A and B are shown apart, each in its own frame.
Chain A
Amino acid sequence: MKLTKTISALFLSLVLLIGSLGQANAAKRLHAAIADWTGGIITCEVAVAILEREYGYKVKQTVFPSGTGLWEAIAAGEIDFACESWPSYAEADSVMLNEDLIYEGKVVGSYSGDGSVDLLGTSGIIGLSDYWIPKYAAEEFGIKTWKDLNKHKAKFATIETGNRGRLIGCPVAGWNCHDQKRLDILGIDFQADELGTEAAAIAEAKAAYMRKEPFLLYLWSPHWFFGEFDMVGVQLPEHKVCDPDTFTEAGNWKDCGKKGWPGTGWAKDYTMNYGNPAVFAKAENADAKKFFENMSLQNIDQAKMLVEVDIKKRDVKEVVAEWLDNNPDKWKPWLK
């Protein structure tokens, strides 16, 4: 008697298995990656919400750490698109993209890789990265630029760093910040600590700020942290690359000292969205491709949403939906 029950359950599962085959290709589906920093999550959520609202797509979102792994997943067709790649952080862009990056009609970057990943267009966000100290510390010690850091390194030390100062560094190795390398080249006697996630780094910085302790923090803007706390950049040297660009894996990470990356600060980042070429070449995804070409989210809008999400702890989807409802004039032009 129980056996029949088991058998009927198995039978039902078989029916499910067979029935599922026809179902899978029915809906207009896209598969997006959820980034590992809030700004990236918001940019992608804006794109996803518009694709779902206006074009009837069904977008599946998967948490995936950014870095070369994500690019390869996109090239392999496991994920269809990802948002807001920062050129200074990506290593794979020059290998896998084969297109010009255009921002407001101007060419701001050009790539000549193998074209295994499709450059969908700019996301509109322009990023800036630097090292920052809280304003109270800058005033107290008179720190104006990175050159003044060494004099006060003892103030920035923690139990883990001994007598060197501590930089709360770029949290994820896959972002290719090369913090320690930069510090060494510039002769800043600090130790870069890689804390694994944005959350961990920010938790440290936030706690330190609340206790009014000095700290040196790597961070990018737009970021909610600047909305809540008063931070001053240390003005790293202006971005330059070695000529020829030797600091690559192929070039065995040979640097050219203070003359070029990573002995300098970051470039201004015109961020971009990228996707799988085969997926976006399909006729049914022409709408999505057109949309991504036109999308251009402004820093100020992302910053506003960042405050809602990270400071007021609201749901990303809710915040983005609210922004879309209140600002149709800003995103309707992307639909043309």
Chain B
Amino acid sequence: MSSNTELAGKSNQSKNIITYLIIGIVFLIALWLSSQSEGPSKFPKVVTDEFTFTAWVNEGEDFLKKNYRWMTKIIAGYIKACYYFVEDFLLESPWLLITAIIFLPCMIAGGLKLGLYSLFVVYFWGATGMWEPSLQTVALMGLSVLLCVFFGFILGVLCSQSDRFEGFMKPVLDTMQVMPAFVYLFPALFFFGIGGAPAILATMIYAMPPIIRLTNTGIRQVPAQTIESATSFGSSKLQLLFKIKIPLSLPSIMMGINQVIMMALALVVLACFIGAEGIGGQVWQAIRRLDVGWAMEGGLCILFMAIMFDRFSSAFSKTKERLPSDVQKFYLLPQGWAKYHLARLIEKPLKITHDVMKYICVFTTNLIAYFIKFLISTVNKTSAEDIGEFISKRYYIIPSFIVFFIITIIDLYFIKIGSFPEEWRLSIRQPITNAVESLTVNPGFIAFTKSLRAFVYLNLLRPLDIFLTHIPWWYTMAVFIALGYITVGIRFALITTLLLLFIGACGIWSHSMITLSSVLVSVALCFVIGVPLGIIASYNERFRNIQNVVLDAMQTLPYFCYLIPVLMFFGGGTVSAVLATVIYSIPPIIRLTSLGLTQVSGTYSEVSRSFGGTLIQTLNKVKFPLAVPSLVIGFNQTVIMAFAMQIVTPLIGGKGLGLEVFNGLARSDTGRGLAAGIGIVLLAIIIDRITLAWTKKQREALGL
């Protein structure tokens, strides 16, 4: 037994040595080749001259614009009209009405806690002077969510009814989710014009998959017995679907809606790049004016808004837990504090208010229900009963509408309430700006940032840039194809060849190598910083909890918020672009390192310790190898996020494909922008597939 494992270990070791040797040789040849070449490697001119993708796209765009423009214009016009309608309503209504429209549903769904939180959020929008942009963002998001849910629900139901349709939709959904959002943001711009319409359509592509998937699985997971009993009672297929299956799958559908909301919010903010209004645009303007405080306020508005919508939609989908009636229910404080006298004292008036309010609500609703019942009963008795019951069960809806109505009446006929009062402004802009500015002129800190900049540029970025751009293109391509073949298989190797040939033939080879190099440097830095943080988090629970909150916030903030502080401290340029990328894409690697290490079950590390392994040994020899799959997933996500960031880094001096996209946009050269955008996606896809396949192999090797 023991000799067996020894043997396996030995053969493993020799295999490892061979692998490293091969990698080393490949690397040395690359180094030699790149030192030999005089300038950046260029694709054969014959190919790039013949393959005029840019011109084709531009011609195609002209053709489409000429012949199908009327169609996209109608769609865009319709969506735009809806958007203007919602936006006008939100912006022109008195602020009290908006507050009530947000506060009441939150309170009804999530109780007093969520209600108070929503009040805070609304106050924050107004106080920071982001009232209008916030509502614009809400309008854009609301409309996209509505459309997503509408079409997503229909598609999901169709998927659940036909296996063939599901088989067709699956790859489509996969592509929708893998594709970075900015790829279709720009084409949407070219077909649907700028502003709200393309933003909403792009958001629909981005945010629809979860609702389709969850509707589908929800309906498919309805237990067979239920269906059988329903069929045995003679329900038809449609009855079965609408009366049994869909109602039973509502929790799953609601979860889908929750995800749709969060994803839509993320993209609506990003859509400022194609001219959509809202907080995204504010943050972008703040970046242009180097106003950290302003950008931060915008970021916080979105962060708070996201939390509110998330809590609201999940509260809506959850069934409320019922406390036994003899326990006093707490409305604001944690239930566990019931033993404290003070807490009970605070809760007492809340309970009384709640009871009074409830009584009023129930009373008015019943009154109205009675009236309506009476009115309808003159026509039809049975439906009158139904309607009356329907209304009085929802005792919160009618009072809410009465509140809205009263506010509107007051605004129209008595006092003009108008937009959020200016006197309530409370800006945190200045303190944040001051803090950052004092850091900017702090000699010690600037010395640190300067040396960091010099280090990253001289030792990482420039050598890698030169190395990657100078290696002949065929060599780089061969390496990628070989990697694809070894990790995934012959088919993927062929696909890789085609994708890389496309990049080369578009004439953006050296741009894509620059992008690749800045992504690699960013990911390497993420790794160096992120893994230690992950390790600490895996050992210390308190640290982990704090870190998780910070990471959550980091991931919810729109990702161009990070550009300004980096710009202030490091100046513009490629190094700043790399550092901004690091800040944005580091969370997954930290999270998954700590997750991977904590998931390695206690027994393994205990066994190792009982054999006398030190802490470092246990970490190094036992935990890390077992956590590798999780680490690689983190690595993979970090890479994808780093690629996504490449689209905004040109704003602070980033180079490569992202800059090409920007230049294409500014010069109205669709082909150029699109080719570069596709280039980023193709690189991301290749690397994503290779790392994922590698993880799979690792998992299998470890028997996980």
Residue of A31, A38, A207 contacting most chain B CB atoms (<10 Å): A207
Question: Is the CB–CB distance between B665 and A69 below 8 Å?
Answer: yes
Q: Which of A17-25, A123-131, A297-305 contacts B (4 or more CB under 8 A)?
A: A17-25
Which residue from A6, A19, A193 sits with its C-beta under 8 Å from B573? A193
Which residue from A23, A61, A64, A160 sits with its C-beta under 8 Å from B84? A23
Question: Is the CB–CB distance between A3 and B246 below 8 Å?
Answer: yes
Known: A64-B275, A67-B668, A159-B458. A23 touches B653 (CB 8 A): no
- In the complex, the chain B residue whose C-beta lies closest to that of A60 is B277
Asked whether any CB of chain A lies closer than 8 Å to the CB of B600, the reply is no
Question: Is the CB–CB distance between A62 and B573 below 8 Å?
Answer: no
Question: Is the CB–CB distance between A196 and B81 below 8 Å?
Answer: no
Question: Is the CB–CB distance between A20 and B82 below 8 Å?
Answer: yes
Asked whether any CB of chain A lies closer than 8 Å to the CB of B441, the reply is yes
In the assembled complex, the Cα of A18 lies from the Cα of B82 at a distance in Å of 8
List chain B residues, Cβ under 8 A from A210: 441
In the assembled complex, the Cα of A10 lies from the Cα of B153 at a distance in Å of 11
In the assembled complex, the Cα of A183 lies from the Cα of B468 at a distance in Å of 28
Question: Is the CB–CB distance between B84 and A24 below 8 Å?
Answer: yes
- In the complex, the chain A residue whose C-beta lies closest to that of B648 is A196
Contact mask for chain A residues 13-45; partner B; CB cutoff 8 A; 1 contact, 0 none: 100110111011001000100101010000000
Residues 639 to 696 of chain B near chain A (Cβ within 8 Å): 649-654, 659, 662-663, 665-669
Question: Is the CB–CB distance between B651 and A200 below 8 Å?
Answer: yes
Q: Nearest chain A CB to B430's CB is how many angstroms away?
A: 8
Known: A195-B573, A199-B288. A19 touches B665 (CB 8 A): no
Asked whether any CB of chain B lies closer than 8 Å to the CB of A72, the reply is yes
- In the complex, the chain A residue whose C-beta lies closest to that of B198 is A78
In the assembled complex, the Cα of A242 lies from the Cα of B292 at a distance in Å of 44
Known: A62-B275, A78-B193, A196-B662. A159 touches B247 (CB 8 A): no
List chain B residues, Cβ under 8 A from A197: 287-288, 572, 651-652
Which residue from B85, B291, B454, B654 sits with its C-beta under 8 Å from A16? B85
In the assembled complex, the Cα of A73 lies from the Cα of B274 at a distance in Å of 11
- In the complex, the chain A residue whose C-beta lies closest to that of B574 is A160
Known: A79-B194, A199-B567. A63 touches B275 (CB 8 A): yes
Chain B contact residues: helix, strand, loop or mixed: helix
Known: A173-B663, A174-B666. A23 touches B571 (CB 8 A): no
Which residue from A17, A68, A69, A160 sits with its C-beta under 8 Å from B82? A17
List chain B residues, Cβ under 8 A from A3: 242, 246-247, 250
Residues 37 to 84 of chain A near chain B (Cβ within 8 Å): 38, 60-69, 71-73, 76, 78-79
- In the complex, the chain A residue whose C-beta lies closest to that of B577 is A196
Asked whether any CB of chain B lies closer than 8 Å to the CB of A172, the reply is yes
In the assembled complex, the Cα of A91 lies from the Cα of B284 at a distance in Å of 25
Asked whether any CB of chain B lies closer than 8 Å to the CB of A143, the reply is no
Contact mask for chain B residues 245-282; partner A; CB cutoff 8 A; 1 contact, 0 none: 01100100000000000000000000010011100010
Question: Is the CB–CB distance between B666 and A204 below 8 Å?
Answer: no
Which residue from A13, A76, A79, A203 sits with its C-beta under 8 Å from B571? A203
Q: Nearest chain B CB to A8's CB is how many angstroms away?
A: 10
Q: Nearest chain B CB to A38's CB is how many angstroms away?
A: 7
Interface size on A, residues (CB 8 A): 60
Asked whether any CB of chain A lies closer than 8 Å to the CB of B146, the reply is yes
Question: Is the CB–CB distance between B667 and A196 below 8 Å?
Answer: no
Residues 183 to 227 of chain A near chain B (Cβ within 8 Å): 193-204, 207, 210-211
Question: Is the CB–CB distance between B457 and A196 below 8 Å?
Answer: no
Question: Is the CB–CB distance between A76 and B84 below 8 Å?
Answer: no
Q: Nearest chain B CB to A20's CB is how many angstroms away?
A: 3
Question: Is the CB–CB distance between B285 and A63 below 8 Å?
Answer: yes
Question: Is the CB–CB distance between A69 and B654 below 8 Å?
Answer: no
In the assembled complex, the Cα of A274 lies from the Cα of B285 at a distance in Å of 22
Question: Is the CB–CB distance between A200 and B572 below 8 Å?
Answer: yes
Residues 284 to 298 of chain A near chain B (Cβ within 8 Å): none
In the assembled complex, the Cα of A66 lies from the Cα of B667 at a distance in Å of 9
Question: Is the CB–CB distance between B572 and A203 below 8 Å?
Answer: yes
- In the complex, the chain B residue whose C-beta lies closest to that of A67 is B666
Asked whether any CB of chain A lies closer than 8 Å to the CB of B86, the reply is yes
Asked whether any CB of chain A lies closer than 8 Å to the CB of B472, the reply is no
List chain A residues, Cβ under 8 A from B150: 10, 13
List chain B residues, Cβ under 8 A from A160: 457, 462, 573-574
Q: Nearest chain A CB to B648's CB is how many angstroms away?
A: 9
In the assembled complex, the Cα of A62 lies from the Cα of B368 at a distance in Å of 46
In the assembled complex, the Cα of A93 lies from the Cα of B566 at a distance in Å of 36
Asked whether any CB of chain B lies closer than 8 Å to the CB of A106, the reply is no
Question: Is the CB–CB distance between A196 and B665 below 8 Å?
Answer: no
Q: Nearest chain B CB to A218's CB is how many angstroms away?
A: 13
In the assembled complex, the Cα of A19 lies from the Cα of B89 at a distance in Å of 12
Contact mask for chain B residues 114-141; partner A; CB cutoff 8 A; 1 contact, 0 none: 0000000000000001000000000000
Question: Is the CB–CB distance between A65 and B666 below 8 Å?
Answer: yes
List chain B residues, Cβ under 8 A from A308: none
Asked whether any CB of chain A lies closer than 8 Å to the CB of B605, the reply is no
Question: Is the CB–CB distance between A200 and B457 below 8 Å?
Answer: no
- In the complex, the chain B residue whose C-beta lies closest to that of A79 is B194
Known: A78-B194, A196-B653. A313 touches B668 (CB 8 A): no
List chain B residues, Cβ under 8 A from A60: 195, 277
Which residue from A13, A195, A199 sits with its C-beta under 8 Å from B290? A199
30 contacting pairs across A/B (C-beta < 8 A): A4-B390, A13-B150, A20-B81, A24-B84, A24-B85, A34-B281, A34-B285, A62-B275, A62-B277, A62-B281, A63-B275, A63-B284, A64-B275, A67-B668, A78-B193, A78-B195, A159-B453, A159-B454, A174-B663, A193-B653, A196-B650, A196-B662, A197-B652, A198-B288, A199-B288, A200-B653, A207-B446, A211-B446, A309-B289, A313-B429
- Besides A67-B665, A91-B667, 5 other A-B contacts (C-beta < 8 A): A24-B80, A78-B193, A174-B667, A196-B654, A203-B290
Q: List the 3 closest A-B pairs by CB distance, nearest first.
A: A174-B666, A200-B572, A20-B85
Chain B residues with CB under 8 Å of chain A are: 78, 80-82, 84-86, 88, 129, 146, 150, 193-195, 242, 246-247, 250, 272, 275-277, 281, 284-285, 287-291, 390, 393, 429-430, 433, 440-441, 446, 453-454, 457-458, 462, 564, 567-568, 571-574, 576, 649-654, 659, 662-663, 665-669
